[in-house]
């Protein structure tokens, strides 16, 4: 009896600790990195003199990160900046991969409308210690009106400067933001010719992250509880003297486990048929609909049409705005299309920026009209970065004695023709 009470008390305590770990996981996992004038890092001022400009710069108070500059128009793009250098050799810096937010306490006065903040990363794949500008410029530019006593930005909003990619001939595989070895924090005047005086004082930089990501934290809790459950079951098995009672309890536990596994299996089956990014079906998910559509065509002669669509110039979106924006384009397009199609139609991501729409009981004319409707819908989608996208469509329908492979080849040919004849159009074969 006493053992049972102690066991129940222990389990109760573990439940309380689990609730605490879930409720306060953000506080427990949070880590902060503070950079301020007392951190002991080296600082450096720079301006457009190195590019042939004649702007002036003055470090008014190095101990308090206070400086000013006067931009003049001798250089086409006058600028000045201030660096906090984490490694004087600019080779071994800070690993910020587990950080997701940056807070900045910065005072600014002047004629500039925008400022730039850069987290510059060193990587031997593209950086040379002897060339300062070879470090990757992960940056964000924002309106000076956004500055307050404390300004907060997400590291997801940082992008790699286009000029750096072009100047260093960086391949697309290395053109995404990188925060594993930040050697310099940089504050610089923004775009445009903001001629005149600019005054700055950087009080503090604070990076906020997590020691362990949320998914791993919950996984750890599950593993602990699975271990506890297994230990508990082992304890019960060792102490059960009545074999009949043990067998009944064992059967009951197996039924519960099987029920849980069956439910979990259905969830995993659905996930396996769904594209994780867009929520549309994947190739596996569309397979059943294709077989059903072919069966309806063969038995009842119900028409079966296929629409392939491909986003025009999608690589340029990724190169210019980053893969996060590219992902946003894919999810926005998928959501918009799914709202416009019928429940009997099936929409799936075929790969990359290409999607397939299977239209059961739909002839070629109706499929073409639907494709035109979707083409206009996509062309009118709006994004926060103020750009537009278009898509090209290939439409075909299943005919007698045709194989499934021939159906998709016909749609591919139509899509290729739509691409090669100007894009943003529907081609029917």
Joined together, the tokens standing for residue 187 give 């504050």
The highest-level CATH class for domain 31-210 is mainly beta
Total Cβ atoms within 10 A of residue 91: 13
CATH architecture of 283-428: 2-Layer Sandwich (3.30)
> Which residues face 83 on adjacent strands?
44, 186
pLDDT score, position 57: 95
Task: In whole angstroms, give the CA distance from residue 421 to residue 429.
Answer: 15
Give CA angle at 405 (402, 407), nearest 5°.
55
Region 61-80: mean pLDDT is: 93
User: Is it the case that residue 179 has pLDDT exceeding 60?
Assistant: yes
3-class secondary-structure state, position 255? helix
Joined together, the tokens standing for residue 144 give 């000076």
> CATH 3.30.70.270 region(s) of the chain?
283-428
> CATH 2.60.120.430 region(s) of the chain?
31-210
Cα end-to-end span (Å), the chain: 79
pLDDT digits (tens, 9 = 90+) for 252-263: 554 554 454 344
Q: Which of the residues are catalytic?
A: 353
pLDDT score, position 228: 83
> Which residues face 109 on adjacent strands?
199
Region 85-92: mean pLDDT is: 94
User: Is it the case that residue 401 has pLDDT exceeding 80?
Assistant: no
Closest CA to 123 of 181, 208, 54, 187: 181
* Range in 126-140, 162-176, 231-245 with the lowest mean pLDDT: 231-245
Average pLDDT across the chain, whole number? 88
pLDDT digits (tens, 9 = 90+) for 203-247: 999 999 987 777 777 888 888 888 888 887 887 788 777 666 657
pLDDT score, position 246: 59
Q: Which residue has the tokens 């519960």?
A: 256
> Which residues face 187 on adjacent strands?
82, 117
pLDDT digits (tens, 9 = 90+) for 96-115: 999 999 999 999 999 999 99
Region 144-150: mean pLDDT is: 88
């Amino acid at each position: 009896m006493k053992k049972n009470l102690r066991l129940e008390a222990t389990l109760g305590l573990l439940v309380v600790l689990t609730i605490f770990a879930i409720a306060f996981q953000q506080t427990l996992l949070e880590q902060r990195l503070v950079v301020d004038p007392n951190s002991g890092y080296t600082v450096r001022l720079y301006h457009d003199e190195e590019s042939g400009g004649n702007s002036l710069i003055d470090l008014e108070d190095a101990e308090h990160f206070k400086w000013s500059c006067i931009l003049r128009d001798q250089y086409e793009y006058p600028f000045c900046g201030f660096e906090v250098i984490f490694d004087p050799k600019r080779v071994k810096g800070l690993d910020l991969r587990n950080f997701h937010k940056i807070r900045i306490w910065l005072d600014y006065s002047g004629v500039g409308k925008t400022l730039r903040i850069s987290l510059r990363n060193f990587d031997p794949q593209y950086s040379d210690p002897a060339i300062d500008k070879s470090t990757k410029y992960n940056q964000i530019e924002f309106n000076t009106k956004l500055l307050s006593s404390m300004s907060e930005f997400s590291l997801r909003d940082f992008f790699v400067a286009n000029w750096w990619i072009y100047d260093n001939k960086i391949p697309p595989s290395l053109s995404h933001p990188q925060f594993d070895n930040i050697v310099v924090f940089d504050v610089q005047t923004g775009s445009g010719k903001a001629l005149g005086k600019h005054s700055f004082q950087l009080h503090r930089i604070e990076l906020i992250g997590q020691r362990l990501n949320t998914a791993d934290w919950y996984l750890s809790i599950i593993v602990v509880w699975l271990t506890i459950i297994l230990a508990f079951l082992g304890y019960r098995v060792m102490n059960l003297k009545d074999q009949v009672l043990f067998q009944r309890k064992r059967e009951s536990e197996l039924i519960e486990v099987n029920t849980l596994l069956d439910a979990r299996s259905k969830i995993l089956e659905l996930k396996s048929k769904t594209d994780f990014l867009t929520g549309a079906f994947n190739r596996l998910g569309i397979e059943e609909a294709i077989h059903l559509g072919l069966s309806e065509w063969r038995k009842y002669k119900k028409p079966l049409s296929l629409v392939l669509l491909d986003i025009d110039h999608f690589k340029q979106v990724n190169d210019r705005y980053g893969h996060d924006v590219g992902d946003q384009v894919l999810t926005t397009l998928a959501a918009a299309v799914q709202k416009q199609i019928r429940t009997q139609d099936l929409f799936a991501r075929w790969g990359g920026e290409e999607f397939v729409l299977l239209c059961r009981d739909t002839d070629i004319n109706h499929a073409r009209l639907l494709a035109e409707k979707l083409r206009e819908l996509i062309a009118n989608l709006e994004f926060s970065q103020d750009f537009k996208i278009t898509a090209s469509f290939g439409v075909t329908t299943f005919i007698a004695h045709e194989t499934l492979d021939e159906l998709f080849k016909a749609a591919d040919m139509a899509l290729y023709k739509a691409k090669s004849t100007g894009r943003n159009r529907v081609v029917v074969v």
